[in-house]
Structure 1
Amino acid sequence: MRKFVSLLIVLFISTLAWAQQPIKGSVKNEKGAPVPFATITETGTKNIVQADAAGNFTISIRKNGQLTISAAGHQTQTITASGGSVEVTLLFGEAQLSEVVVTALGVRKSRNQVAYAAQQIAGDEVSKTRTSNFIQNLSGKVAGLDIKQGNTIGASTNVVMRGIKSIAGNNQVLFVVDGIPYNNAVGTTPNQTADRNNAVGGYDYGNSAADINPDDVASITVLKGAAASALYGSQGANGVILITTKKANRGLGITLNSSITLGKYDPKTFPKYQKEYGQGYFPSSRYEDPTEKFLYRDVDGDGKPDLVSPVMEDASYGAKYDPNLMVYQWDAFDPSSPYFKKARPWVAGANDPSTIFRTAVSSNQSVFMDGATDKGFFKMGYTRTDDWGILPNSRISKNLLNVSGSYNISEKVTASANLSFSNVNGKGRYGTGYDGNGARNLMTSFRQWYNVGVDMLEQKEAYFRNGKNSTWNIKADDLFAQEP
């Protein structure tokens, strides 16, 4: 009896083993390139596996069972398999993208299988409009996502999901690119922190998510609920934006992208200045001129006092303009100026601040090289971005390098690596507030403090002549031996 029971058990196990057919296969797209991380499901069961980075998979199914293969950006396909090896070709199809969600663990699931709010965007949706800031391309594409950028060149972008959750803390969403978290917090150097605490602004050097290359994005999944972003702990409490980059195609491929975007300044948005009164606060007993309109100093060395504009004042409520008056003004004290130690007619400047701005230009150039075999793939890309702001001396340059690869060491072991490098250089950044650590906001200054006697094109020429600003607002003590 005992031998009979043992024989039945052996026969039962043999039957189970015979009923399960091992299948080895690979998933490729229309171009013959591997489709990484495709989902393979035995139709009608919970038997699910995921392909590796090279599109290879192994699964055991019932005899003459069916396999359903799906992947983001591709049409789902169902095949009948009876053991051995299969090669599946998936057709491209954007409709499928909305039906598959990338979870926090990087696993692709049907939207109906996830119990939290998630939204997915195709990569070409964020690369159609060429900007130097990748985050701006998400604007208007994700429900509940609020995106705001500062008005300075290279400024940070604030990305908030479903409203502000903390008054004093960080509300930024977490960006994750191919499993690597990106810290998108704004700069927190000692000077920046001190400036914000003192409500004077300071410089804004941008945040790291802006350096993501939209040309390299295959898909974006926005995880909105606490359950969706739980894997990332407190870092993901404000939401997570998962970015999957493009994979390599079979063979060797080279892709070039180039774009130029122009931005124009509208002079109608600038204030209109009065041109009847010049530099100073008239009347003032501080001015030595008997009329209390000007400083009264011997500039040319002839022993006689000359009329000098109140250069230490930062407003234009002074003497009424009169072309018959010859007055020493700010450029009379600039050794590089053609008006050095020369008096000029007391008139308003011919060119106000609105004349110094130029057309903004944004240039983006990128090159990608990739290749793939049955064993793995590699990808390398370089991107150069240049932003010339509306100010003549403002420019932000970015150099971005991305290298990634994957190799199947064995059926169960895959080695992958991903390297990202970014270098950002800026010139002519202006501050976000009043005057934090010398980071004055130029636009604020022109609206609050200005000498209408200054010709701004002459100021522009002085900057490029000297390599630094020649101020019109000078301390009188720096110019004369006696007190004003």
Structure 2
Amino acid sequence: MKKSVVTNQLIFKVMRFLTLIYFMLSVLFFAAQASPLKAQGLNNRISFNFKNGTLTALLKSIEKKTSLSFVYTNKDAVLNQQVEAVKADNEMVSSLLDRILTPMQLTYVVQNNQVIIKKAVRVKGKVTDEKGLPVPGVNVLEKGSNNTTTTNLNGDYSLNVRESSSTILFRMMGYQTKEFTLKGEAVVNISLIPDETGLSEVVITALGIKRNEKALGYSIATLKGSDVNTVKEVNVVNSIAGKVAGVNVVSTGSDPGSTAMITIRGQSSIATDNQPLFVVDGVPVAHSLRATSEVGRSSVDYGSPVADISPDDIESITILKGASAAALYGSRAGSGVVLITTKSGSSAKKGLGVSFNSNAMFDQAWMFPHFQNQFGAGEYTDDPAVSTTSAWGPRLDIGTKHLQWNSPLDAQSGKPIPTDWVSHPNNAKDFYNTGSTYTNNIAITGKNADGNYRLSYTNMVNKGIVPHTDLSRNTLNLAATYILHPKVKISTNIGYVNNKSDNRPSAYRESVTQMVYSMPSNMNINDLKNYWKPGRENLEQFSPDDSDNPYFVAYEHTNGYDRNRITGNVQAVFDITNDLSLMVRTGLDLYNEEHETKRPFSAKRFKFGGYGVDNSFFKEQNTDFLLSYKKTLNQDWSFGLSVGGNQMDQTNRSTAQRTESLSIPGIYNINNARAGTITNAQYNSRKRINSLYGMGQASFKNMVFLDVTGRNDWSSTLPAQNNSYFYPSVSLSTVLTDVFKVKSDLLSFAKIRANWAQVGSDTDPYQLYNTIPFNQDWGDVKRATIEFNLKNNFLKPEIATSYEFGGDLRFFNNRLGLDVTWYKTNKRNQIINIPTTITSGASNRLINAGNI
């Protein structure tokens, strides 16, 4: 054991050392390659205050402060140019010249220390994709200069270049870079071709930012819509199973509508459920895993709200695995993030489009436990008892006869007649049905120069393999974008989902599965379908032993629910300049859910029946902004800087009324409860997290990439002295095949990456101070009790620190790929409950401890 620990520590230190070496070499590479492209004087910084005058006077002022000299190719034109007041404060000469000359449609070229001022050549045009649709955000730059611009929302651009024979580069994520050499043209329209190699594949990252996959210094995985909607799972989370390395998906039940638990890179927390944050179109949504509802000794799974998303509406799913990838999403992203992007009308052709698809899927119970079919009912081999669930009675299938629960009566004596003592090994198979799921979707799309939309309706009807279980879902989704102004774009995505079921299957003890599995093999389950005693319908069930009849449980123990959910967001993007943009957005996730539980008379646990109604309400609103600045300095260098903030408000409310004793059989209404048997429960909670964050990216020659992020959260669930916590991340990636100019049919692409990050997380509401809850009334006396879990008003946030080092190799023109990642995550200050002596007045107490 000690040797294993030492080995792990040694490996960790070696990987940290290699990461540090990689970082230092990349920095040296940056410095070594950053050779000056201009005269030395252009890189100098100057400060001065120039009042109104001619351009000639301004250039002479610059000459006095530098070693540069200016030459005019059209002196008269230059002399006639008037310049407003210009102030420079430690500004580079090259930046100052760009600022002054560009509005005058002038440019310059450098020869030694001479700067030649000349008339600029204006080139404009439109950039479209292979379908002829405009492509906004394309970087347009003149090769060998600092002259750059980007296309607007309509794909239009305008650029001043130095020569009528200059070469213009067009760069955009996901498309092949295109070069165009001018031959005197004033209008140049370009059509970009998608990069089919995948080396420039665009992926969605934190906060919905689109990035080039090769620029990322951390590991992510992306699934296309076709990967999840070819076979339409009722719970879309199940579609991820087996498709992404390091991601484990386990369904809590065999029913298609069951909740699915997803873990990314294993479990890192002792007390939490280790579930990732789900983000739909940039807005966090309700948790993916919910506790089951307990009824008696059985549990009922009503499914997760994440499952409400229709597979037909999904464009892509991106999984952010490590802390570095998820750091910008804050405390709830400690276990990773699942980003779901829904379809919009942007990819549709102009005009009106209609699509329809229908899907059918069938389920059968396939894998069963190994049942014991050698002995029949009874406590021991010679036990004559046949009305018991114990199955250790006389041996079966040896030609003997025994009295059984359904033995016929002798016509003369009226006594039961022994019947064949044989097994029925297919009881379980005979009980379960063939389940079916039918999904129909229709989508209408429209697009013109001013915007686009997509309206989608999905109907799903499921019949479960357990008799009398079902699930229906109706989904309506609208995605729309409107270009209000060439610099203002408004978009929205609104969805409504209704889930309804008359009966959801239960699990564990007292469930129908437990009844079927524990049935002695000498009983034939097909003889139990008439589960009411003749003449005693709704009063007394028919059961051959001391347990409930499986069909009685299936048809009369019902667990219905009805959930109405609304999700949506409204987003506005303002292109303040070609390089600066502002995004503001607000998103809402709201649902109301009602559970109705019915238990009939004569149930083993509910002799006089039972009834319960639960109502739960959930609302989460996220309001955020992001100010982004992107700049392509020249052919080699580009960078981006973003700052933003988010406010998350979350509200939970629930009420419940239950009774385990009814007055009149078959009347399921809380007013039918016997006097004094109603129990009431209510819970309310609120939570808020305020956040500020920022990120920066730098790229050198599109082959070395550095990312830095930082976020600070203020959580309402932590004490005032500890409710603020900051967590940063740094990642670096290098495309080795570009650095070393590798051209090989064998090795198509090689990239190494490294990152370090921290992510903080808080706790649930109301974990700081103990309260006095109310208990069940004692007659007309109101009772209060004490909590036996001692809260802690000195809690600190959990902090996860992650290290990651990996590589991406692709061979034979990207036909074969290998992605390898080594990572280590330590989570400290874990918020856990530990047992304590009851003499302290509490059985458990909440503390910060643990390091996993």
Specify if TM > 0.5: yes
Equivalent residue number for residue 281 of structure 1: 379
Q: Is the 8 A contact 1:131 1:362 kept in 2?
A: no
Tell me: CA distance 1:169–1:475, structure 2 relative to 1, closer, same or farther (3 Å). closer
Equivalent residues in 2 for 1:16-95, closer than 5 Å: 16-17=102-103, 18-19=105-106, 28-33=128-133, 39-42=138-141, 49=150, 52=153, 56=155, 62=161, 66-72=168-174, 75=176, 77-78=178-179, 88-91=190-193, 94-95=196-197
Q: Is the 8 A contact 2:428 2:516 kept in 1?
A: yes
Matched, 1:388 2:463: yes
Matched, 1:211 2:280: no
Distance 2:519 2:236 in 1: 37
Structure 1 residue 6 displacement after superposition: 6.5
Tell me: CA distance 1:431–1:216, structure 2 relative to 1, closer, same or farther (3 Å). same
Matched, 1:99 2:201: yes
Matched, 1:454 2:454: no
Equivalent residues in 2 for 1:12-411, closer than 5 Å: 15-17=101-103, 18-19=105-106, 28-33=128-133, 39-42=138-141, 49=150, 52=153, 56=155, 62=161, 66-72=168-174, 75=176, 77-78=178-179, 88-91=190-193, 94-96=196-198, 99-153=201-255, 154-188=257-291, 191=293, 202-248=299-345, 249=348, 250-266=350-366, 269-274=368-373, 277-278=376-377, 280-281=378-379, 293=384, 310=387, 313-317=388-392, 346=419, 347=421, 352-411=427-486
Q: Secondary structure at the match of 2:475?
A: strand
Equivalent residue number for residue 421 of structure 1: 496
Tell me: CA distance 1:4–1:210, structure 2 relative to 1, closer, same or farther (3 Å). closer
Unaligned runs of 5+ in 2: 1-49, 59-81, 84-96, 107-119, 549-601, 604-852
- Structure 2 residue identity aligned to 1:430: P
Q: Is the 8 A contact 2:170 2:179 kept in 1?
A: yes
Tell me: CA distance 1:85–1:413, structure 2 relative to 1, closer, same or farther (3 Å). farther
Q: Write out per-residue CA displacement over residues 191-219 of structure 1, whole angstroms, 9 at most, x where no aligned residue.
A: 45x99xxxx66222222333333333333
Structure 1 residue 376 displacement after superposition: 0.6
Distance 2:407 2:160 in 1: 87
Q: Write out per-residue CA displacement over residues 90-132 of structure 1, whole angstroms, 9 at most, x where no aligned residue.
A: 4455534763232313232223433333333333233333332
- Structure 1 residue identity aligned to 2:101: T
Q: Is the 8 A contact 2:408 2:417 kept in 1?
A: no
Distance 2:189 2:543 in 1: 72
Distance 1:70 1:364 in 2: 38
- Structure 2 residue identity aligned to 1:131: E
Distance 2:354 2:363 in 1: 30
Q: Secondary structure at the match of 2:487?
A: coil
Q: Write out per-residue CA displacement over residues 442-477 of structure 1, whole angstroms, 9 at most, x where no aligned residue.
A: 444444x324343212334548x979975444589x
Equivalent residue number for residue 57 of structure 2: 8
Q: Write out per-residue CA displacement over residues 121-150 of structure 1, whole angstroms, 9 at most, x where no aligned residue.
A: 333233333332322222333222222222
Tell me: CA distance 1:229–1:7, structure 2 relative to 1, closer, same or farther (3 Å). same
Q: Write out per-residue CA displacement over residues 359-418 of structure 1, whole angstroms, 9 at most, x where no aligned residue.
A: 333322211111111111111111122333322323222222211101111122222111
Q: Is the 8 A contact 1:329 1:344 kept in 2?
A: no
Q: Is the 8 A contact 1:328 1:343 kept in 2?
A: no
Q: Is the 8 A contact 1:39 1:108 kept in 2?
A: no
Equivalent residue number for residue 622 of structure 2: none
- Structure 2 residue identity aligned to 1:40: N
Q: Secondary structure at the match of 1:229?
A: helix
Structure 1 residue 172 displacement after superposition: 1.3
- Structure 1 residue identity aligned to 2:358: S
Tell me: CA distance 1:59–1:132, structure 2 relative to 1, closer, same or farther (3 Å). farther
Q: Is the 8 A contact 1:103 1:228 kept in 2?
A: yes
Distance 1:134 1:88 in 2: 39
Q: Secondary structure at the match of 1:105?
A: helix
- Structure 2 residue identity aligned to 1:277: G
Structure 1 residue 232 displacement after superposition: 1.3
Structure 1 residue 88 displacement after superposition: 4.8
- Structure 2 residue identity aligned to 1:42: L
Q: Is the 8 A contact 2:147 2:160 kept in 1?
A: no
State the identity %: 25
Tell me: CA distance 1:292–1:390, structure 2 relative to 1, closer, same or farther (3 Å). closer
- Structure 2 residue identity aligned to 1:8: A
Q: Is the 8 A contact 2:207 2:329 kept in 1?
A: no
- Structure 2 residue identity aligned to 1:262: F
Q: Secondary structure at the match of 2:523?
A: coil
Q: Is the 8 A contact 1:76 1:96 kept in 2?
A: no
Q: Secondary structure at the match of 1:354?
A: helix
- Structure 1 residue identity aligned to 2:366: D
Distance 1:272 1:117 in 2: 45
- Kindly report the root-mean-square deviation, in angstroms, between the aligned alpha carbons of the 2 structures: 4.4
Give the length in aligned residue pairs.
Answer: 429
Distance 1:264 1:217 in 2: 27
Tell me: CA distance 1:71–1:245, structure 2 relative to 1, closer, same or farther (3 Å). farther
Higher relative contact order (CA closer than 8 Å, sequence separation 6+):
1
Tell me: CA distance 1:255–1:274, structure 2 relative to 1, closer, same or farther (3 Å). same
Distance 1:235 1:22 in 2: 50
Distance 2:491 2:282 in 1: 12
Equivalent residue number for residue 335 of structure 1: none
Q: Write out per-residue CA displacement over residues 228-272 of structure 1, whole angstroms, 9 at most, x where no aligned residue.
A: 2222101222112222223311211111122222333337x4434
Q: Is the 8 A contact 1:117 1:223 kept in 2?
A: yes
Q: Write out per-residue CA displacement over residues 178-201 of structure 1, whole angstroms, 9 at most, x where no aligned residue.
A: 112223332247x45x99xxxx66
Distance 1:175 1:402 in 2: 18
Richer in strand (by share): 2
Unaligned runs of 5+ in 1: 284-290, 295-308, 333-340, 480-484
Distance 1:156 1:148 in 2: 9
